[in-house]
Amino acid sequence: MTPKRVVVLSPHFDDGVFSVGGMIALLRQRDIAVTNTTIYTPPQQWKKNIPRCFRPYADFAQRQKEDERACLRLGATCEILGLIETAFRPPMAWHPLTLFGSRDVNEEDRAYIANYVTTLLSKDPDLMIVAPLAVGGHIDHRTVAWGCLDAMVTLSAFKRIRFFEDPYSCLLPLRNLHPVTRQNTWMHAQKPHWLSLRSAITAVALKAWARNQTYHPELNRRQWELTSFSLTPEAEAKKIGAMAEYSSQVAAFGGIETLAKAVKIFHTNFGFAEPLWECHP
């Protein structure tokens, strides 16, 4: 189908732009309306008991402004669904690594997201949803992915939902864990996670936590097809410019220069494109 409108479901403020910012820019050039909807956000009221390791991610006002500026660069509108990130819910996680892997999907959030997606698709026959695959196993990403997969199966909307590879897909050890993305490996391609010692160590640490996660049954039960979205140099440049707006998050990835190099390698590994996956009945 050729959609008239696209909604990108971003687990957190930066995930949608980091994953499919180039696609968003090109869709807007084609006059296709794009909304970047952030599912999970920090609480709007600062809490003093937030562990120090989570404080860079806890400023709601700053992160919302960053998202608005990034979406403005790409020509998209932005919305917030309003669920609170798992990191800021009791019992508080003691370290970001504990948000990956073995935690159970929040069933209440999963049902809420499934109902949200079902409602969107039912009301607008010209709408396409672009959702995360949850590569890396972050609990919020997994909950969004599971809700979208539930809605897809309920409505038999296999042609109306595409799944993007999360930013963690740049870390090859995590990409090779996921039952869908490991179908398309980079045997002889450049590997973004070797750009720095920090990113290589991060990849190994996250893999150790992520290997214990459970996967939605549809990921193994169905046939999946890689349908990458081809980019242009201008679209890639717009994406990197938009990524730079997330200043509070970019530092965690080693700075915008390192992140830009990783993204360019990632695009090159797919033939200068952003990977999108389609699930078949």
Q: How confident is the model at residue 208 (pLDDT cuts 50, 70, 90)?
A: confident
State the pTM of this model: 0.94
Structural domain containing residue 19: 5-280
- Bigger pLDDT: 192 vs 221: 221
Query: In angstroms, rounded to a whole number, what is the distance separating the alpha carbons of residues 3 and 27?
Result: 10
Least confident piece of the model among 44-48, 79-83, 136-140, 167-171? 44-48
Query: In angstroms, rounded to a whole number, what is the distance separating the alpha carbons of residues 274 and 210?
Result: 23
DSSP secondary structure of 210-245: HTT----HHHHHSEEEE--EE--HHHHHHHHHHHHT
Q: Looking at residue 238, what is its pLDDT? A: 98
Say whether the peptide bond before residue 233 is cis (omega within 30 degrees of 0): no
* Sheet-wide strand order for 5-10: 77-84, 33-41, 5-10, 127-132, 161-164, 276-280, 223-226
Question: Considering its fold, how many domains does the chain have in total?
Answer: 1
Q: Looking at residue 44, what is its pLDDT? A: 84
Q: Kindly tell me if the per-residue pLDDT of 77 is higher than 70.
A: yes
Average pLDDT, the chain: 91
- What's 160's domain CATH number? 3.40.50.10320
Query: In angstroms, rounded to a whole number, what is the distance separating the alpha carbons of residues 255 and 249?
Result: 9
99-121 pLDDT, tens per residue?
A: 998 789 999 999 999 999 999 99
- C-beta neighbour count of 148 within 10 angstroms: 27
Residues 127, 7 contacting (CB under 8 angstroms): yes
Place of tokens 């809605």: 151
Query: In angstroms, rounded to a whole number, what is the distance separating the alpha carbons of residues 68 and 74?
Result: 10
